[in-house]
Structure 1
């Protein structure tokens, strides 16, 4: 084959190749960073924090244990789909523990071959899944990430309103938290051990009474009866739009004795709340209500607003 024929063949082959376009640059993040601490942030600190608290850096190494766990869950899902393929759809009971039941294996040979091939492929050292992906964090930001994670003198939280990332001195954060917790008008200091014990006992008795009155099913009893509970967690979200940047108190009930009961009560209350005359769904709903009554407001009326202090933390409100 002559050089001319080679060039023609190469040109013809190139016609069917997908043109390589340069990778699109990552759009700049608009997340603001508000520094309320006494620390001076470097440019790398600002660039990293401006990516937002939901940004996921590329992991430095391959986690085989996590992959194996994910594959186990995936294989269980496809086996469940095959096992119940011919069953009519049924309405799932809203209050029941998450099942861990695994369908029997070897029902469909093709499915078992597939799971074996995938497991074998991912366990090989030269598997494409083990290839290290490009690090999408520059070296200085990766160093900054490790530095921020190891520091104990700062607290990093999202702002209460907006999408800003706020960094505070730990001592200021603790001082603001104690200001809320020391308010004896709305809070009472309890013995955590005895309080948790009596709360658990009272909850158990209430659940038993409801079951005996046929108000809940046996599955609901199992769902509501948590034994390994912990105290709810208290934290603050800084209100950077208010003078002094006060913290908004939040109580996280995940894993607490009242978590499941709160879900249970919320399930039945949610459909009833919109029926209240004073119910407002969101800001557009409020604006629509104003539009509906604008012709009913007398010209001599004085329109005003009011704000309730500590609405969610004050039981008397």
Structure 2
């Protein structure tokens, strides 16, 4: 006879081992990264002194040299930061929320229309409607475990452990992998088959509604036409002869250098807001489905643009003052004033 209590005990033990192994891997990864940062900082200081001594008679070359060093260092920092965040998310978000699958799979046609607004000539199938209704941030359960990644990270962690601790960690990880199974699929067969047709349909665009949590399907031509009509408003927008990103970046760098020389910001803040990316802010629009003819709201995403980190820093400084002053300043000019 199947022993229910024993099954639960085994399940609890497996979850405990998984949790313990994940924490050990995460702690070791953090230690390795911190040690690497310390070593790089020491090496940078040593090399800086050597370069400073050799270029003491030519300050311009010295400034250019360390501008490039800082640029490369920031690039490596962002790459490493992104890697660590991804690993942390994999460890902390291992349990897929079930709420998205319980109510949405059994949605009726009327309920689907509350979550999906079809403005396109193309009418999605029932499975496509159910898939879209899950939302644009819905995470699809993987079909297999990332065994290779787990093994690689385990070996990285073992390098900093003694022989006994490394053997114990390997044993726990191997046991966990043998007893673990991929998460249950959170899509039906029909919904999974609907992914490719929707992805390959270039005649429509699937975007979030301006308000609420609904998802909208629009004809791509209509969407582009409405966006172009907004941009043709010469009282609001002005067409530029060329991309000003490089020029604005140079002005921001010069401004930051002057502020740093005056000791008005510390090194950490300087490195954080120093522009390394050159992404041009991106324009898109979201449809107002609650209004007649479904006009679109223009949005400009400045993520990874040259002033992105600067804007976040200023927002952090101004946040304590919000709502505590009698004057509010608003600006519609996205250019850099120096």
Q: TM-score range by the shorter chain?
A: 0.5 to 0.7
Cα deviation 1:112-155 (Å, max 9, x = unaligned): 44554456567x7xx344x3433221211111112111221111
Deviation of 1:65 after TM superposition, in Å, equals: 6.0
SS at match of 1:275: coil
Where does 1:284-295 land on structure 2 (aligned, <5 Å)?
none
SS at match of 1:185: coil
1:219 pairs with one of 268, 271, 294 = 268
Distance in 1, matches of 2:121 and 2:222, equals: 10
SS at match of 2:283: strand
Distance in 1, matches of 2:222 and 2:290, equals: 17
User: Is 1:173 matched with 2:223?
Assistant: yes
CA RMSD of aligned residues (A): 3.6
Distance in 1, matches of 2:167 and 2:138, equals: 37
Cα deviation 1:224-255 (Å, max 9, x = unaligned): 11223211111111111111111111111111
The residue aligned with 2:119 is: 36
The residue aligned with 2:68 is: none
Distance in 2, matches of 1:151 and 1:116, equals: 46
SS at match of 2:313: helix
- Structure 1 contact 232–256 (Cα < 8 Å) conserved: yes
- Structure 1 contact 186–313 (Cα < 8 Å) conserved: no
The residue aligned with 1:152 is: 202
Q: Structure 1 residues 243 and 212, CA, compared in 2 at 3 Å: closer, same or farther?
A: same
SS at match of 1:59: coil
Where does 1:224-243 land on structure 2 (aligned, <5 Å)?
224-243=273-292
Where does 1:1-317 land on structure 2 (aligned, <5 Å)?
26-28=102-104, 32-64=115-147, 67=150, 105-106=160-161, 112-113=166-167, 115-117=169-171, 127-129=178-180, 131-193=181-243, 195-277=244-326
Distance in 2, matches of 1:133 and 1:183, equals: 51
- How many residues align? The count is 236
Cα deviation 1:8-67 (Å, max 9, x = unaligned): xx6xx9696789xxx998234666110000101211122222222222222244445665
TM-score normalised by length of structure 2: 0.60
Q: Structure 1 residues 212 and 152, CA, compared in 2 at 3 Å: closer, same or farther?
A: same
SS at match of 2:320: coil
More helix by share: 2
Distance in 2, matches of 1:179 and 1:56, equals: 35
SS at match of 2:323: helix
Distance in 2, matches of 1:186 and 1:71, equals: 55
